[in-house]
């Protein structure tokens, strides 16, 4: 692999121990992936700040001790704690202590304490063509697909290595060729289904199962009905059921004005996604027993538009089951300024920031089905939370919570 003078300085230790370690790992990965060289990245997003065990903490603190400081603006993914609402945590105190040490280590390296899985909802976000190094599966697929920025699927601990050096291997989705569609998904759905927000989670789940790590090209989405929140849910579901890091939607996403542009003019296979495939996706994600135990929305984190809609739906009402909404501290602050947070919290809903209910012990025992509008949460909840899932629209989630029982399609 061809290394620049600056790369070699970092590799030799001239810019500190932390940068040297980071560069060694980047070079090893680049050589394994046959990258011709490294490229500059302009931003990072770190998934490794979520506590999964002592190894992650040891690595981060070693970087701090080695003088590690990020070379590009870098945001932080969800953590294992809600620092704004610490009383919500129901887990082991020692785990919480170690998780806080991990959070502090990444802040000490100059990362911005955003604690969100949806950095694309912050005041700054990358633009089409920008080279970045992002972790967190849903953020990666959104950045590549909806924003047209360029990142590979960076996991622990390669994300912080790229941020410390400002460099990444020139492979995969950083390249023009790596972003071309590998197969077409042709939607053959009744027109009215595209008005239902749940459809986008189901499409995402089905596409992820088809794609694995390939780049799918979706034909049949209506640009007038598919907003960023629907694309967010679609992408997050596809990155959960598969390992999708990018999709094209013809006529919707920036690199797919036409099918030819999305595929580079190559002949690629076509798969049909019709009612049968959609219903199979629903059966896989939603297996309700009929008894409502709790509601959790905002996986990925709720946008300010979703918070506005939630406040409108719950205004003057009170939930009859535990109800949680996950969002970022930045969006929560805007929601407080607009008076939305007060309306939501007055309805008995717990707002969770900095983390998410499916990875942090907040909800406790769920006595009944967990209702959500999130394809990602529906995918992970059975294993992570031991709960059956009922997948429904945000409006149906609210109506069910306010009546105390499943009210799908009745709102």
Task: Looking at the structure, tell me whether residues 293 and 278 fall in a common domain.
Answer: no
Task: Looking at the structure, tell me whether residues 71 and 99 fall in a common domain.
Answer: yes
Range(s) of the domain holding residue 107: 5-174
With respect to residue 408, please indicate whether it lies within any of the assigned structural domains. no
pLDDT score of 320: 98
Phi first, then psi, for residue 327 (nearest 5°) are -155, 170
With respect to residue 311, please indicate whether it lies within any of the assigned structural domains. yes
Task: Looking at the structure, tell me whether residues 73 and 157 fall in a common domain.
Answer: yes
Task: Looking at the structure, tell me whether residues 142 and 217 fall in a common domain.
Answer: no
Whether the full predicted model's pTM is greater than 0.95, yes or no, is yes
CATH value at residue 333: 3.30.499.10
pLDDT score of 411: 43
Task: Looking at the structure, tell me whether residues 219 and 81 fall in a common domain.
Answer: no
**Which DSSP letter does residue 143 get?**
I
With respect to residue 56, please indicate whether it lies within any of the assigned structural domains. yes
With respect to residue 142, please indicate whether it lies within any of the assigned structural domains. yes
Task: Looking at the structure, tell me whether residues 59 and 146 fall in a common domain.
Answer: yes
With respect to residue 409, please indicate whether it lies within any of the assigned structural domains. no
Question: Across-strand partners of 294?
Answer: 370
CATH value at residue 111: 3.30.499
What the block records as the tokens of 351 is 């707002």
Task: Looking at the structure, tell me whether residues 291 and 318 fall in a common domain.
Answer: yes
Query: How, if at all, do strands 167-169 and 38-40 pair?
Result: antiparallel
Among 236, 266, 282, identify where a domain stops: 282
pLDDT score of 407: 76
Kindly give the parts of the chain with pLDDT less than 70: 408-411
With respect to residue 206, please indicate whether it lies within any of the assigned structural domains. yes
Task: Looking at the structure, tell me whether residues 170 and 208 fall in a common domain.
Answer: no
Interatomic CA distance for residues 392 and 374, integer angstroms: 8
pLDDT score of 280: 98
Task: Looking at the structure, tell me whether residues 205 and 335 fall in a common domain.
Answer: no
Task: Looking at the structure, tell me whether residues 277 and 329 fall in a common domain.
Answer: no
Task: Looking at the structure, tell me whether residues 270 and 343 fall in a common domain.
Answer: no
Task: Looking at the structure, tell me whether residues 208 and 160 fall in a common domain.
Answer: no
- In DSSP notation, 50-90 reads S---HHHHHHHHHHHHTT---SS-EEE---SS-SSSGGG--
**Which DSSP letter does residue 145 get?**
I
Among 174, 209, 233, identify where a domain stops: 174
pLDDT score of 409: 60
With respect to residue 123, please indicate whether it lies within any of the assigned structural domains. yes
Q: What is the domain count for the chain?
A: 3
Interatomic CA distance for residues 291 and 138, integer angstroms: 30
With respect to residue 355, please indicate whether it lies within any of the assigned structural domains. yes
Spatial contact of 408 and 282, defined as CB atoms under 8 Å apart? no
Among 223, 253, 282, identify where a domain stops: 282
- Nearest 5 degrees, angle CA 366-CA 369-CA 374? 105
């Amino acid at each position: 692999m061809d290394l620049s003078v600056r790369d070699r300085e970092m590799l030799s230790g001239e810019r500190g121990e932390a940068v040297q370690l980071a560069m060694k790992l980047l070079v090893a990965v680049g050589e394994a992936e046959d990258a011709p060289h490294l490229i500059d990245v302009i931003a990072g997003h770190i998934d490794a700040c979520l506590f999964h065990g002592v190894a992650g903490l040891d690595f981060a603190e070693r970087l701090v001790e080695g003088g590690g400081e990020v070379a590009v603006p870098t945001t932080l993914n969800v953590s294992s704690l809600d620092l704004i609402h610490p009383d919500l945590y129901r887990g082991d105190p020692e785990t919480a202590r170690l998780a806080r040490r991990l959070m502090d280590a990444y802040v000490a390296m100059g990362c911005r304490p955003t604690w969100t899985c949806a950095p694309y909802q912050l005041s700054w976000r990358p633009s089409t063509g920008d080279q970045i190094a992002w972790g967190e599966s849903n953020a990666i697929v959104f950045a590549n697909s909806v924003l047209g920025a360029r990142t590979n699927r960076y996991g622990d601990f390669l994300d912080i290595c790229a941020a410390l050096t400002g460099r990444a291997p020139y492979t995969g989705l950083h390249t023009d060729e790596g972003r071309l569609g590998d197969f077409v998904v042709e939607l053959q759905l009744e027109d009215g289904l595209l008005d239902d927000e749940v459809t986008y989670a189901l499409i995402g789940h089905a596409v992820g199962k088809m794609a694995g790590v390939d780049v799918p090209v979706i034909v049949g989405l209506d640009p007038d009905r598919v907003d960023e929140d629907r694309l967010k849910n679609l992408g997050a579901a596809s990155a959960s059921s598969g390992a999708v890091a990018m999709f094209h939607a013809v006529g919707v996403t920036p690199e797919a004005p036409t099918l030819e542009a999305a595929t580079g003019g190559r002949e690629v296979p076509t798969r049909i996604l019709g009612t049968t495939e959609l219903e199979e996706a629903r059966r896989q994600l939603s297996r309700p027993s009929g008894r409502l135990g709790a509601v959790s929305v905002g996986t990925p984190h709720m946008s300010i538009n979703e918070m506005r809609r939630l406040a409108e739906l719950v205004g003057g009402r009170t939930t009859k089951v535990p109800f949680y909404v996950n969002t970022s501290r930045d969006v929560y602050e805007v929601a407080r300024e607009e008076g939305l947070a007060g309306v939501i919290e007055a309805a008995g809903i717990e707002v969770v920031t900095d983390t998410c209910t499916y990875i942090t012990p907040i909800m406790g025992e769920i006595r009944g089905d967990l209702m959500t509008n999130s394809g990602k949460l529906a995918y992970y909840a059975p294993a992570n939370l031991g709960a059956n899932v009922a997948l429904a629209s945000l409006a149906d989630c609210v109506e069910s919570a306010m009546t105390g029982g499943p009210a799908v399609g009745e709102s």
